[in-house]
């Protein structure tokens, strides 16, 4: 939205028209500044929400990493226990595999 201020059209005579044009300019500037202030507050609020969302996502990713680490540790512990009882399993490339050979 363009704001049209009265500039070179101001009267050379200090009269009511000059005063109203001058006051009108200040009102237009005041409205534009208030609109900018409102827009800035909205942008700041939106940015805060985005930053919080990013923190929440980062926390969620960290939680997933911890869960995956715990799961891997638990699987490794189970495979070790099974191996102690001569169950033919091992972890190969992150997967639990049967270590019996074909034909046995």
Q: What is the pLDDT of residues 50-73, one digit of tens each?
A: 999 999 999 889 999 999 999 888
> How many domains is the chain built from?
1
Q: Identify whether 7 is part of a domain.
A: no
Say what the pTM is.
0.51
Q: Is the pLDDT of residue 103 over 60?
A: no
The CA-based angle 14-20-26, given to 5 degrees, is 110
Contact 25, 6 (CB under 8 A): yes
Residue 102: what pLDDT? Answer: 59
Q: Identify whether 4 is part of a domain.
A: no
pLDDT band at 12 (very low <50, low <70, confident <90, very high): low
Residue 18's Cβ-count burial label (10 Å; 0-12, 13-18, 19+) is middle
What is the average pLDDT across 87-93? 81
pLDDT band at 97 (very low <50, low <70, confident <90, very high): confident
Q: How many residues does the chain have?
A: 104
Place of tokens 């909205």: 42
Q: Identify whether 103 is part of a domain.
A: no
Q: Is the pLDDT of residue 1 over 60?
A: no
- State which residues form the domain around 24: 16-98
> What is the overall mean pLDDT for the chain?
83
């Amino acid at each position: 939205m363009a704001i049209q201020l009265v500039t070179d059209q101001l009267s050379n005579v200090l009269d009511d028209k000059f005063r109203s044009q001058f006051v009108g300019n200040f009102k237009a500037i005041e409205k534009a500044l208030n609109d900018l202030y409102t827009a800035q507050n909205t942008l700041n609020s939106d940015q805060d929400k985005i930053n919080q969302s990013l923190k929440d996502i980062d926390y969620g990713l960290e939680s997933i990493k911890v869960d995956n680490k715990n799961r891997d540790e638990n699987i490794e512990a189970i495979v070790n226990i099974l191996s102690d009882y001569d169950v033919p399993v091992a972890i190969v490339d992150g997967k639990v595999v049967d270590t019996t050979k074909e034909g046995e």
